Chain A
Amino acid sequence: GAGVSQSPRYKVAKRGQDVALRCDPISGHVSLFWYQQALGQGPEFLTYFQNEAQLDKSGLPSDRFFAERPEGSVSTLKIQRTQQEDSAVYLCASSPAGASGRALHEQYFGPGTRLTVT
């Protein structure tokens, strides 16, 4: 079956522009996660959805970052007024189980969107 897909794969934005990054999780996966991966580093947690509910957004670095998953499937990560420090790969992952399931830990990642802010 299809894995997690993300679009666009690459995005170049001028400083100050708004961007929107899309994630299509694996069909039927309840949980969805966004991570930010700086060059040469491991992914860092941004936010987590269970269905359409955003249960944790503690990793969002500033109020310029906003994520939504209105129908409990596709998710969008929006970054307003982009800054150079926002340049990174943004990874989306999905998981089949909700908070009560041990399988929640098994996250399946998409290929990421590489954002470059100039």
Chain B
Amino acid sequence: QQQVKQSPQSLIVQKGGISIINCAYENTAFDYFPWYQQFPGKGPALLIAIRPDVSEKKEGRFTISFNKSAKQFSLHIMDSQPGDSATYFCAASMGNNDMRFGAGTRLTVKP
């Protein structure tokens, strides 16, 4: 049962461009929405996270936009760099341990 749907599956962006990855969730009980970045051979690393009481959170070049009524949230990477090339996972959790991940987006930033 896929509770978090992520798109696109892959994304190619030119250096300096904006990368946008979208996620949609089903369960309104989710109360924490993180984004993870994963490089090949490494574990996922927490990038940025948001709670449903705010509509936007920005940390450096990374911004999460959250639409509670639409049950959607997105990651925007401004001024994308080749070093940002990785797989990005959105996730949603509720309570203590129930973290559900999207299927991932493979981002390639071309120099």
Which positions in A face B, CB cutoff 8 Å? 4, 31, 33, 40-45, 48, 55-56, 91, 93, 98-99, 104-112
Known: A41-B103, A105-B34, A109-B43. A99 touches B89 (CB 8 A): no
Can you list 17 contacts pairing A with B, beta carbon distance less than 8 Å? A4-B43, A33-B99, A40-B103, A40-B104, A41-B104, A43-B44, A48-B97, A55-B96, A55-B97, A91-B43, A105-B93, A106-B34, A108-B46, A109-B44, A110-B43, A111-B42, A112-B43
Chain B nearest CB: distance from A55 CB in Å? 7
B25 an interface residue at 8 Å Cβ cutoff? no
In the bound assembly, the distance between CA atoms of A4 and B42 in angstroms comes to: 11
Do most interface residues of chain B lie in helix, strand or loop, or is the interface mixed? strand
B60 an interface residue at 8 Å Cβ cutoff? no
In the bound assembly, the distance between CA atoms of A62 and B67 in angstroms comes to: 37
Chain A nearest CB: distance from B50 CB in Å? 11
A45 with B104: CB separation less than 8 A: no
In the bound assembly, the distance between CA atoms of A41 and B4 in angstroms comes to: 12
Residues of A within 8 A of B46 (CB): 106-108
B73 an interface residue at 8 Å Cβ cutoff? no
Chain A nearest CB: distance from B47 CB in Å? 12
Q: Which of A4, A48, A107 has its CB near the most chain B CB atoms (within 10 A)? A: A107
Residues of A within 8 A of B43 (CB): 4, 91, 93, 109-112
- From the candidates A42, A45, A110, name the one contacting B97 in the complex (CB within 8 A): A45
In the bound assembly, the distance between CA atoms of A105 and B30 in angstroms comes to: 11
Residues of B within 8 A of A91 (CB): 43-44
A111 with B41: CB separation less than 8 A: yes
Q: Give me the 6 closest cross-chain CB pairs, A-B, nearest first.
A: A42-B101, A109-B43, A48-B97, A99-B96, A105-B32, A109-B44
Residues of A within 8 A of B59 (CB): none
New A-B pairs, 11, CB < 8 Å, besides A41-B104, A42-B4, A106-B34? A4-B43, A42-B101, A43-B44, A43-B89, A43-B101, A48-B97, A55-B96, A55-B97, A105-B32, A109-B36, A111-B42
In the bound assembly, the distance between CA atoms of A112 and B40 in angstroms comes to: 11
Residues of A within 8 A of B18 (CB): none
